[in-house]
Amino acid sequence: MTVLKGARERRVPAGGVELCVAELGDPGRPTVVLVHGYPDSKEVWSEVAARLAGRFHVVLYDVRGHGGSTAPRPSRGGYTLEKLTDDFLAVADAVSPGRPVHLVGHDWGSVQGWEFVTVRRTEGRIASFTSVSGPSLDHFGHWIAERLKRPTPRRAAQLLGQGAKSWYVYALHTPVLPELAWRGPLGTYWPGILCRVEKPPTGGYPTASLPRDAAHGAWLYRDNVRARLRHPRTDAYAHVPVQLVTPLKDAFLSERLSDGLERWVPRLTRRTLPARHWVPRTRPDLLAGWITEFVTAVEDGRPETAASGAGGKHADRFGGQLVLVTGAGSGIGRATALAFARAGARVVAVDRDAGAAARTAEQARDAGAPAAWAETADVSDAQAMEELAARVTAEYGVVDVLVNNAGIGLAGSFFDTTPEDWKRVLDVNLWGVVHGCRLFGRRMAERGQGGHIVNVVSASAYQPSRALPAYSTSKAAVLMLSQCLRAELAGRGIGVTAVCPGFVATGITSTARFAGVGDEEEARLRRRAARLYGLRGCPPEKVADAILDAVAHDRAVVAVTPEARAARLLSRFLPGVSRAVARVKPPL
């Protein structure tokens, strides 16, 4: 029996077995069929199915020999891709007889899905396919053959790498031993192993049928892998739009397996995420969002949108994610919000200037964001940030990427800097980051599906200056906070990056405070600072690109400009020179 809450269950006969099928949602809506992998049952999809059920008719079924489905007799020859295709068509005919279904597969469910969308007899029964962590055996066979036929050091490394990752495939081809292991100690310890490695949410998975499922599922490999890899089909072209979801930390499959996949899939959307193999359990929010976006595009008759996705840099990584940027009304904040928008992210633009935030949100929508909202908040106000975090979570969801960018400038000698000056610069530059990390970071951690925090710091964090004691102190504190948080949150799948821009032409120079001078002299110094920064010629868009790269590659500290990188090298390897530079009086 299924443990999917609220599911309607039925039995579907197919090729000598009975398949256990569960349904959620309104049958009048588009049907999404979720196919599980090895050694799972349909319950691996419970978190994703619950999120899809409000929009679609969601169907899950246990593959033959798994969960509540019966097993073929004899086992040998009972799990071929041809028979699995028969099973899928039987389910599709039962749950959606007059309308094609949208197929989603994980692991061996994805391997099956590739077969379903590349054989002639399924044409017209499938509208789209989302593949997660499971290649086509035919495409895989050609991938191997090409690397053996035209070897290079890089291709040899790819073959060896995937060969090492596929150790379990060899083990499952041995007779009897896999069955004994799964029905014995491995079946007992597997849930604990999975929990320690993948850290999925608990509840209803794995099910009690795991040892039986895994023992039967060994025949998936024995009946299909060697035959297809040795003699892959040459007509394995996908006849539907395909969305490929690639976890970059998958211990079983190399991301290089999808190189050249466009040859076989004319309408291909690529998605990547920093996750391990069991994405349906560890990243259900993001995966459900991608499935929803893709299926909706196909249903609306926009296959070109489904195929191409967003056009900006890292669109495969950030499409559909929720990104919040503080200080988004201008400068680095606005450029960052727009860069994420071009990558297909949903954007929340936060600024204390409501009009500036609204303009950024509008530009983000024009740049390609599927949705963008403006929010007003002073990051130094703890209560305002509490309300902002509660409102954003309730209305838009848990933030996937947080960019703490809001900041103010303050120059002047230590003795000219008043306590009020210190309080103001620390409230915004340090406490604003603390509030953001605490409120939004806590929600990321509680959700348990990873995320990323970016704190925009400054090269002043590690390059002291006689003219910037308060500003440099605030930024040095944020740099240390970022590295402490990175250590604490690493085990929760949340990355933390400190970005140090250097001299960038932004509006901060026109609003910077200069301690110890009158209003007229402060205005002159602001104009001169803005002119000097402008002559440097580094636009905020360069920092925005660096931020997207840093999140995509989970970098700890990123110095953007040459002077920022040089200052970092001096602070680490020639601290005496760095201190000597600090004594130089700025040309203001």
The predicted-structure confidence for 535-579, as pLDDT tens digits, reads as follows: 556 789 999 999 999 999 999 999 999 899 999 999 999 999 999
Average pLDDT over residues 202-224: 91
Q: Tell me if 8-308 shares its fold with 318-582.
A: yes
Average pLDDT over residues 136-160: 94
What share of the chain has pLDDT > 70, as a percent? 92
Pairing type for strands 17-24 and 8-14 reads antiparallel
Residue 185, pLDDT score: 94
Out of 55-64, 72-81, 333-342, 535-544, least confident range: 535-544
| Residue 305 vs residue 206, higher pLDDT | 206
Cα–Cα distance list, 202 to 43, 45, 198, 207, 285 (Å): 12, 13, 11, 11, 16
Residue 1, pLDDT score: 43
Q: Which CATH architecture has domain 318-582?
A: 3-Layer(aba) Sandwich (3.40)
Domain boundaries, the chain: 8-308, 318-582
Average pLDDT over residues 111-131: 97
Average pLDDT over residues 19-32: 97
Catalytic residue among 38, 221, 462, 471: 471
Average pLDDT over residues 384-404: 97
User: What is the helix (H) or strand (E) element at residue 506, kind and residue range?
Assistant: none
Q: What CA–CA distance (Å, rounded) separates 174 from 583? A: 71
Residue 269, pLDDT score: 94
Residue 4, pLDDT score: 78
Model confidence at 17: pLDDT above 50: yes
For the structural domain made of 8-308, what CATH number should be given?
A: 3.40.50.1820
- Contact criterion met (CB below 8 Å) for 330 and 506: yes
- Contact criterion met (CB below 8 Å) for 321 and 272: no
Q: What angle do CA 311, 313, 318 make, to 5 degrees?
A: 90
Residue 77, pLDDT score: 93
471 is catalytic: yes
Bridge partners of 17, per DSSP, are 14
77: left (phi over 0), alpha (psi -120 to 50) or beta: left
What share of the chain has pLDDT > 90, as a percent? 83
Confidence of residue 311 (pLDDT cuts 50, 70, 90): low
Residue 503, pLDDT score: 78
Answer yes or no: pTM beyond 0.85: yes
485-514 tens-digit pLDDT: 999 999 999 999 999 998 776 666 566 677
Confidence of residue 254 (pLDDT cuts 50, 70, 90): very high
Render 330-396 in DSSP notation, one character per residue.
Answer: SHHHHHHHHHHHHTT-EEEEEESSHHHHHHHHHHHHHHT-S-EEEEE--TT-HHHHHHHHHHHHHHT
Cα–Cα distance list, 226 to 270, 390, 396 (Å): 28, 53, 47
Model confidence at 287: pLDDT above 50: yes
> Residue type at 420?
E
Residue 75, pLDDT score: 86
412-463 tens-digit pLDDT: 889 999 999 999 999 999 999 999 999 999 999 999 999 999 999 999 999 9
User: Which residue pairs, CB below 8 angstroms and at least 24 apart, start in 183-186?
Assistant: 183/211, 183/212, 183/215, 186/214
Average pLDDT over residues 278-283: 96
- Residue-averaged pLDDT of the chain: 92
Confidence of residue 310 (pLDDT cuts 50, 70, 90): low
Cβ count within 10 A of residue 588:
12
DSSP alpha helices (H): ranges in 414-458? Answer: 419-426, 432-447
